Amino acid sequence: MNIVFIIKELLKAKSMQEFINERFLDTNRLIIPQRKDINGKYDYSKYMKIVSYDGKTFFYWDELIDTISSIHHEYKFDDIRKSDVVLDIGGCVGAYALQICHDVKQVYVVEPLLDERIKRNIDLTNQLNNSIHNVKIFKCALGSGNENINISFQGGNVNVPSYTLTELKEMCGGHIDVLKVDCEGGEWSIQQHELIDIRRIEMEVHTGDSFEYHGGISRTSNVTKIHYTDKTKRFMDFVNMLKSVGFECTYTILDEHTGLVHGFKK
């Protein structure tokens, strides 16, 4: 790296902010000053890194930042309505919830482990544009209900109550229009009758069999791979359950054992 060239670039820039942003290949990623000094000027000795893909929602940049990119590249946002109530099960850092909340009535997020990161990203966004006021977070998990379960992810561990999808819908006021699920296998606790009154689904399904049996093409993904030993949990069985309650389904293969289902009702 030519240090003289870098210094020349710095001298040409109108500000330190412009210099830093211009040196990033990904224009969605920004580095901004973390604070101002006592004279009201930015203190460039410390920076916070943030990322935004829609110009409305902002996220702190950490080891899970690629989940935000994957939401934009892999999920579908067709047939989303202003009157919709959304349930996001497996919110992670809030990538799906904090994007879709701008276009719907209400978003409820189930996140057992990373709920504080979602709150930080909401606070960050509201500091910058005060645009998120319709997101509520539940610190729990999807499961069989009536029991606590241990959740481990990224070196963290927590014991939280589990609720059935029916119970979670009641916590959301009794009805949801859109269901997004990415909970690393917890989706297999969902029962057919619980899906009847839902219009849209975006759901990662983790299976014990391989997509080579379905003609799917695996590709590289940043999604965590879960290899289940229960080979009775077959991806197309889940898709067929969705079809049985009126969903038209397409799907995207994320890796050998994970598929993302896009479900629509007319």
Split at pLDDT 50, 70, 90, the class of 154 is confident
Q: 243 or 55, which is more confident? A: 243
Give mean pLDDT, residues 214-219.
31
pLDDT at residue 28, as a whole number = 52
Ordered by start, the domain boundaries in the chain are 52-264
Q: Are 132 and 125 in contact (CB under 8 A)?
A: yes
The CATH number of domain 52-264 is 3.40.50.150 = yes
Enter the pTM of the model.
0.78
Instruction: Find out whether 90 and 111 touch, Cβ atoms under 8 Å.
Output: yes
Tell me the per-residue pLDDT of 88-147, one tens digit each, with 9 for 90 and over: 999 999 999 999 999 999 999 999 999 999 999 999 999 888 889 999 999 999 998 888
91 near 115, Cβ under 8 Å? yes
Q: What is the mean pLDDT of the chain?
A: 80
Least confident range from 50-54, 110-114, 165-169: namely 50-54
Give pLDDT, residue 229. 42
Instruction: Give the H or E element holding residue 6.
Output: helix 3-12
Give the Cα separation of 84 and 166 in Å (integer). 18
Q: Does residue 218 surpass a pLDDT of 70?
A: no
Structure tokens at 91: 């919110």
Minimal CA–CA distance to 244: which of 209, 193, 169? 193
- What mean pLDDT comes out for the span 76-80? 94
**pLDDT surpasses 50 at 223:** no
pLDDT, tens digit (0-9, with 9 covering 90-100), for 3-39: 555 566 667 666 665 665 555 545 555 544 445 555 6
pLDDT at 185: 86
